Structure 1
Amino acid sequence: MAEEESLQLEVKEPAKRPKWLMVAIIAGAGVLLAAIVAGVVILLSSGDDRQGAEQVEISTPLTPGDALYVGMPRPFLFNLPGEKRSYLVQIKVQVQVRGFGDQEIAKKHIPLIEDSLLSTFSAADAKQLSTREGKEELRTQALINVQTTLQGITGKPVVERVLFTGFVMQ
């Protein structure tokens, strides 16, 4: 009898998978396919952008005296004491030069330009920077200091204008 009991096998029906599982698998495959297609499109379109940029450069050649801009790699961030409290100031700066030669000189001397600008900015006062005229005065003083500094090194002023491309005072 013991043998008969051990020989009996139970046959179970296979478990049914829920319907949502099949939908989830199909949706996941669709998302993966969309991501692959998007990646291919981005890779192929980046080559077109370079060709478009070359066409723009060819159609509008720069002359040696054109205005070019050199951005300072990071914004200037400093504290200014005020009458009642201190202010945190952040200024993003670009300098305007004329021609490729001056652009290369300015790029070469970015640390020197940054030092001159930081010295100028830290000498300002909060009351001055709260008005438009005060900001314009600071920009003019920054230009004079940068030109004087570069004149001593390169023999010419190099920078034509100092531009504030971002100015935050809190």
Structure 2
Amino acid sequence: MAEKKKDEPQEKPSGGKMKWIILILLLLVLLGGGAGVAYYFLIYKAADQTEVAADAVDAEEGAAPVAATPAQPQGPLIYHELEPFTVNITTPGPVRFLRLQMTVVTRDEGVVAAVDKHMPMIRNDLLALLATQESSVMNTPEGKDALREQLKQTVSGILTRMGAPSGVTDILFTDFVMQ
């Protein structure tokens, strides 16, 4: 009974080759997944960080970034007070004079030095701008905000033309009298 007959088919070891195929396939899947993770962290993330840095450079140069990221403050605010401006208003109306004192807000000491260096040109352009304002418009909060923005653009434009740092953050009114 212990002997096998020659006519009976012998059992083949059926799991040997199949186990190797499954093991190789699992190994390939793990290697592919590892390569995908490595690509994501090493190449894709590095390219994404390079784009963010390029967008920040474009934003400094005046181009609009594709994805706006919150700007990190570069340093504390610096307030640089300018001498008072007194201007004759040339537009018709009850107001004839404007006395204005303002402060330039920046985060860069270089801007303060540039404003002091180019003060004659800045005063000239600001006086010309202030003289053309309408008193009825300047008497409203929206008009004052628009004037502040015009003054900021004028100062920044002069500093840019002169090749100086032009990082003016804001213009603040410290005295505003119309008579």
Q: TM-score, normalised by structure 1?
A: 0.56
User: Distance in 1 between the 2:108 and 2:92 partners?
Assistant: 44
Q: Deviations for 1:46-86, whole angstroms, at most 9, x for unmatched residues?
A: xxxxxxxxxxxxxxxxx97221122113x111122454434
The residue aligned with 2:174 is 165
Aligned equivalents of 2:129, 2:104: Cα separation in 1: 15
Counterpart residue number, 1:100? 109
Report whether the alignment pairs 1:65 with 2:65: no
Letter in 1 for 2:76: D
CA contact (8 A) 1:143 1:162 kept: yes
Q: Which has the larger radius of gyration?
A: 2
- Higher share in helix: 1
For 1:131-142, list aligned pairs within 5 A.
131-142=140-151
Q: Quick one: structure 1 residues 84 and 91, their matched pair in 2 at CA, closer, same or farther if it must change by over 3 Å? A: closer
Q: Which letter does structure 2 place at the counterpart of 1:92?
A: Q
Specify every segment of 5 or more residues in structure 2 that has no aligned partner in the other structure, as ranges: 1-72
Distance 2:157 2:109 in 1: 20
Structure 1 Cα separation of the partners of residues 91 and 122 of structure 2: 26
- Equivalenced residues, count: 107
Aligned counterpart, 1:80: 89
Which of 154, 172, 175 aligns to 1:145? It is: 154
| 1:15-30 matches, cutoff 5 A | none
Rounded to whole Å, the distance in 1 between the matches of 2:161 and 2:171 is: 18
Question: RMSD of the alignment, in Å?
Answer: 2.1
- Find the counterpart in structure 1 of residue 126 from structure 2: 117
Letter in structure 2 aligned against 1:166 = D
Q: Percent identity?
A: 29
| Cα drift, residue 137 of structure 1 | 0.7
Pick the structure with more strand per residue.
1
**Displacement, 1:112?**
2.2
